[in-house]
Each structure stands twice: as C-alpha cells, then as structure tokens.
Amino acid sequence: MNWIGVKSIYLHEMDRMRRTLFQSLISPFISTSLYFVVFGSAIGSRITEIEGISYGSFIVPGMIMLTILTQSISNASFGIFFPKFTNTVYELLAAPLSSIEIILGFVGAAATKSLVIGTIIICTAGLFVDLHIEHPFIMMFFLILTSVTFALFGFLIGIWADNFEKLQLIPILIITPLVFLGGSFYSINMLPEFWQKISLLNPVLYLVSGFRWSFYEIADVSIITSLITILFFLFSCVLIISYTFAKGYKIKN
Amino acid sequence: MSEILQISKVSKIYKNKFQALDNLTLSINEGEIFALLGPNGAGKSTLINIVCGILNFDNGNITVNNFDIKKQYREARSLIGIVPQELNLEAFETVWNNVNYSRGLYGKPSNNVYIEKLLKELSLWEKKDNKLRELSGGMKRRVLIAKALSHEPKILFLDEPTASVDVELRKDMWEVVKRLKKNGVTIILTTHYIEEAEEIADRVGIINNGKIILVDEKENLIKKLGQKILKIELVNTIKRIPTDLKNFNLELNQEKNTLTYIYDTKGKNTGITSLLSEIKNLGIQLKDISTEQSSLESIFLNLVKESENELDRG
C-alpha cells in the first residue's frame, strides 16, 4: 500500500480548501443562517413544532444533510475533474498508485471537508436554536458515512464528466431536488398518503430520517432501514468506481 | 549493456479505430539516451504514455527492469519519470509544493535536501515560492522536469522536451540530460528536431504508422551523414564501368550516362582527384559534375516514405 501517495493526494486536496478558505467555510455559515431566517423564522412562525420538536430545531438535521450531500459531491467531483481538465491527471496515472489509493486520497479529503462544514453548520445552528443531540455517536457515524458515500458518488461524477456542465448536471437536476423532497424541511407525515408513498422511493429520505433520529429520536422510517440504504449506496459506489478504474473508462482511453 | 525496457509486440487501437501502435517491438539499453523520431501521429506519444501507465494497450508485453508494467506496476512505475509534451501544471500551487507532491505520489518520503539540489540544478530555486501560473513557459518546462525527477527515477521519458522553448533553455536542458546520463539514468526522448537527436542521442529509432522502421547507433547514422555522392554525367553513354575504375566502386545508371561515386567527406583522401584524373586518362568526356549530401533528415524522410509506400502496397 502506497500510504505516502495517499497522504500526498489527501494533503494536496486539503490544501485546495485552505486556498479557498473563505468560499469553503464562510459560505456554509452564511447559507445556514439564511435557511434559519427563511425557514426557521418565516415558516417557523406558522409551524411551531413537528412531533414535539420546535420547527427551527427540526430542520437542523435536514439542513446539515443538504449541505453534506452537495459539498461531498462537489468537492470530490471537482477534485478528480480538475486534474482531468488541466491534463495533470497523467501524474496520478503514471505514479505507482492503485485505484483504491487514488480514491482514498480524493474521497478522504472531500469527506473531511464535508465533515468540517457539517461541524460549522451544527455550531451555527446552535446560535439560532436550542440544539440537543440524543445520540451523538450515531449522529457522527451517519455524518461520516454520508460524507464518504456521497464523496464516492461525486468522484464517480468527476470521472464521468468531460465538461463543467456535466459536472453540475447531476447535483443540480437530481441531488438537490431529492434533498428538498426528502423530508429535510418537513416530516413526510405532513404529506397526503399518496405522496408519502412516493417519498419512500427517495433514497435521501432514509438518510435524513436516520440522521434526524440521532438528534431527536423521531424518524419517518426505521433507523435500520436508513442504515441499510446508505450502506447499499456506499458499496454500489465502491463497486462502480473500482470497475471504472479497472477498465480505464474516461481516464486511460 | 543490459536492457532496461523491453517492448514486445505492442498494439493499440483507439476507440475511433485509429491504430496508433502496430505490433511494435523495441528494446532500450540501460544508461543510454535513445531518441525516437517520427512524424506527427506516428505513435511516439502513445508509446510513451503506454509505458508510463497513462494509457491502456490492447496486446503485447512491456517490462521495465524485468517488471511487467501491468502485473508489477508499482515496481515498474517507481523506476519511471515522465515529462509530458504539453505544459500542464496546476495554476495556484507553488513550485516547491508541486514538486514535493509529485515525489509523494511515488511513495517516497520527503527529502528537502534532494529537492533543493534538484531545483538549484534546474535554476528553479529562486522561484520555489512562486505560484506556477506566474512562471514563463520555459520555467514551467523546468518544473515539469523537476517533477519527473523528484522521485529519483532510473528511466526518464521526455516527450518533445524542446518544443516551443528558447535556445538557452534547450542548451540547459541538454546539459541536465547529459548529467543524468552520467548518473546512470536512461533517457528516452521524442523529438522533431533531428539535430537534437544527432547531438545528444546514443541510438536513434524511427517510428511511423505505429511501427519501428529503423533503430541504429547514432555513430552509424553519422557515418551515413558524413557521406557525399558525386554524380558524373557523361557526354556519351558507356557499356560498362571501365576496369581501370574498379577500385572506386562506382555505379552506372540505367541510361548508362551517369557514374555515381560515394565518398567520405571526413576522410583524409576523398579520392575525387584520382577518379577524375583516371577518367581523363581513359578519354571519357564529362558533361556535368554534381554532389549531394545525405542528411539524417533525408534518411528519415526516405524511410518514412518507404514505410508509407509499403503500407499502401500492403
């Protein structure tokens, strides 16, 4: 195992975050604050509480998931797309690195960035609402698992994309709608029965639900189902990426 | 001299059906400077990229220091450094960080003393804290060389290293290459500039249409380069070359009106005076005399043309 190589990629990617510190850290702080103003204050004044939890507190897990998902995808996809775009990917391919090692470096860095941002959002949320985490370790577990899984998914998008438009296509057209419709800002119990059933087809619902359970012990679906869903997605991403690297798809051809 | 790189029957067909390499076989000796010449699209860069692991190939075997580049890719790639043709670098990193990053990718622990020495040798030390986007084209080329050498490889690939660089940098680069050779590094370079191959290479290979059409020692090529052709056109045709002129190894053309004499310009005695004097003694009247230089370029072009003709016939 080329651990020095993995560390080099990881630090190289983390250094990109340092160079764009303002954009990386300040923007989630500002967007979280805006969500609280719009959803927490404006809508929260009409929906006082959901399942015994104040609306402001209720939306915190969903907001964190929204940011974690989008940040993990965009960081990892950009991480591998950028060397492809600048043609510097040759040195990754020419180095004695296995595909797993390359993935570990890029995905590890993207997931770390997401975790840092997730922590910032939790701290920011603490300024607006009285935050209470019932199961902090399970919350951390979900946070890490989601960051890694969606960083892997983002990595896959970065390999597939051959222009900036494609890089944004899946996050904007698929991920963001799924997050917004996945119960981030409401409980699916508030929906008509038909739409509740439709919502169960949305994989993000299981993530948000499981994550919310770790905060308040309330969930739209069982915690075990949430866990199985995210693990299934994680292994699917690992398998597809391994296959992609083995075949050299969009990289070595 | 042992072979450090063995390429055996390697083929590569791109998705658009273009055959970049066709059953190509080539061996590179340890410690030599090998120049690979060929026209655009001949397969030079494809070959380099395949050996370095940047491209997949369809058939054949490649070993680097007896390590199979597919099965033992870690050992094989650790021995190789590559300087690509294009000036592809990240814009916002510093020279120092970027060169150290390359070393790290090869699994080598950081070695500030070595990297400092390397940057000084390449006249980059003053620029070590500069961002890569602030550098000139020539400086970027130096950074690419530093990156390729950062993990102390045994084989260095230089893909068109002097394309769009000034004379000074070109000279500096050849100095670096000569120094590396002294340290036992094997260097394989592709170039369009035949003079470069003449100046620096130990052996020269010519590639066209994905096939190697000639590999020879530079000395042999220079010998050919040093030869001149004297054409003596006669007023009247002759049936055969007179026996008195046998020692000159002349050739008579099909029209029987021109004698061809090949001589070495670097030799002490070209034999021209004796030949002309013998011709005069035999009473043969001359119509015209001309000389032709056989350059490496003309050898190269003829070979490429021949290989293309063969391809057309095939």
Residues B166, B253, single domain; the answer is no
Give the integer Cα–Cα distance in Å for A241 and A104. 12
Model confidence at B313, in pLDDT bands (50, 70, 90)? Answer: low
What is the DSSP pairing of strand B33-37 with strand B203-208?
A: parallel
C-beta of residue B44 within 8 angstroms of C-beta of residue B36: yes
CB-CB under 8 Å, A4 with B108: yes
**Listed residues B200, B222, B244: the one ending a domain:** B222
Determine if the pTM surpasses 0.95: no
Smallest CA-to-CA distance from A78 within A145, A19, A146 is with A19
Residues of A in contact with B101 (CB under 8 A): 8, 12
Residues B26, B101, single domain; the answer is yes
Separation in Å, CA B167 to CA A28, B172, B174, B187: 51, 9, 11, 20
Residue A75's pLDDT is what? 87
Highest mean pLDDT among A25-34, A223-232, B165-174: A223-232
Task: Determine the average pLDDT of the residues in B201-219.
Answer: 85
CB-CB under 8 Å, A96 with B73: yes
Q: Which candidate from A82, A92, A96 shows the least CB-CB separation from B107? A: A96
Residues B213, B188, single domain; the answer is yes
Q: What is the pLDDT of residues A88-118, one digit of tens each?
A: 888 888 999 888 888 899 999 999 988 888 8
Residues B186, B133, single domain; the answer is yes
Task: Determine the average pLDDT of the residues in B32-60.
Answer: 88
Q: What is the pLDDT of residues A130-164, one digit of tens each?
A: 778 888 898 898 899 889 988 998 988 888 888 88
pLDDT at B156 > cutoff 90 = yes
Task: Determine the average pLDDT of the residues in B244-250.
Answer: 87
Q: What share of chain B is helix, strand, coil (3-state, %, to 5)?
A: 40, 30, 35
pLDDT at A124 > cutoff 90 = no
Residues B238, B153, single domain; the answer is no
Residues of B in contact with A91 (CB under 8 A): 82, 102, 105, 147
* Residue appearing with tokens 């021109």: B258
Residue B186's pLDDT is what? 93
Residues B114, B36, single domain; the answer is yes
Residues B22, B68, single domain; the answer is yes
Q: What is the pLDDT of residues B5-18, one digit of tens each?
A: 999 999 998 888 88
CB-CB under 8 Å, B106 with A93: no
* Residue appearing with tokens 């390429």: B7
B104 to chain A nearest CA, in Å? Answer: 5
pLDDT at B295 > cutoff 60 = no
Residue B102's pLDDT is what? 93
Residues of B in contact with A94 (CB under 8 A): 52-54, 77, 80, 82
Q: Which candidate from B49, B74, B105 shows the least CB-CB separation from A91? A: B105
- How is residue B83 annotated by DSSP? E
CB-CB under 8 Å, A95 with B88: no
Residues B205, B274, single domain; the answer is no
User: Tokens standing for A29?
Assistant: 């702080």
CB-CB under 8 Å, B52 with A90: yes
pLDDT at A47 > cutoff 80 = no
pLDDT at A246 > cutoff 90 = no
The three-state DSSP-derived secondary structure of A25-73 is HHHHHHHHHHHHHHHHHHHCCCCCEECCEEHHHHHHHHHHHHHHHHHHH
Residues B102, B236, single domain; the answer is no
Size of the A and B interface in Cβ pairs below 8 Å: 74
Chain B residue with the nearest C-alpha to that of A20: B92
Of residues B309 and B228, more confidence is placed in B228
Smallest CA-to-CA distance from A219 within A111, A134, A128 is with A134
Chain B residue with the nearest C-alpha to that of A15: B93
Domain that holds residue B23: 3-222
Residues B157, B71, single domain; the answer is yes
Residue B34's pLDDT is what? 93
Q: What is the pLDDT of residues B95-105, one digit of tens each?
A: 999 999 999 99
Mean pLDDT, chain B, rounded, equals: 85
Residues B139, B211, single domain; the answer is yes
Q: Which candidate from A15, A94, A96 shows the least CB-CB separation from B74? A: A96
User: Tokens standing for A13?
Assistant: 């990617």
Of residues A32 and B163, more confidence is placed in A32
CATH of the domain at B99: 3.40.50.300
Give the integer Cα–Cα distance in Å for A231 and A239. 12
C-beta of residue A2 within 8 angstroms of C-beta of residue B107: yes
Q: Which candidate from A3, A11, A94 shows the least CB-CB separation from B53? A: A94
Percent of chain A predicted with pLDDT > 90: 9
pLDDT at B159 > cutoff 90 = no
Residue B7's pLDDT is what? 92
- Ordered DSSP codes for A184-253: SSS-GGGS-HHHHHHHTT-HHHHHHHHHHHHHHS--SS-HHHHHHHHHHHHHHHHHHHHHHHHHTTTT--
**Listed residues B222, B251, B274: the one ending a domain:** B222
- Residue B113 is which amino acid? V
Smallest CA-to-CA distance from B184 within B63, B33, B64, B6 is with B33
Residues of B in contact with A4 (CB under 8 A): 104, 107-109
Of residues A37 and A90, more confidence is placed in A90
Percent of chain B predicted with pLDDT > 90: 28
pLDDT at B259 > cutoff 80 = yes
* ipTM entry: 0.80
Q: Where are the domains of chain A?
A: 3-247
What is the DSSP pairing of strand B211-217 with strand B203-208?
A: antiparallel
Q: Would the CA dihedral through B3, B9, B15, B17 be positive or negative?
A: positive
- Residue B264 is which amino acid? D
User: How many CB atoms are located within 10 Å of the residue B58 CB?
Assistant: 13
Model confidence at A244, in pLDDT bands (50, 70, 90)? Answer: confident
Question: CA dihedral defined by B149, B71, A248, B90, rounded to 10 degrees?
Answer: -10
Task: Determine the average pLDDT of the residues in B253-263.
Answer: 88
B198 to chain A nearest CA, in Å? Answer: 29
Domain count, chain B: 2
Q: What is the pLDDT of residues B227-239, one digit of tens each?
A: 778 899 999 999 8
- Ordered DSSP codes for B174-194: HHHHHHHHHTT-EEEEEES-H
Residue B50's pLDDT is what? 92
Q: What is the pLDDT of residues A51-74, one digit of tens each?
A: 777 877 888 888 888 888 888 888
Residues B13, B126, single domain; the answer is yes
Residues of A in contact with B107 (CB under 8 A): 2-5, 96
Give the integer Cα–Cα distance in Å for B206 and B193. 12
Percent of chain A predicted with pLDDT > 70: 94
Residue B289's pLDDT is what? 92
Residues of A in contact with B90 (CB under 8 A): 82, 86, 88
- Give kind and range of the element (H or E) at residue B5: strand B3-13
How far does Cα B284 stand from its chain's mean position? 45
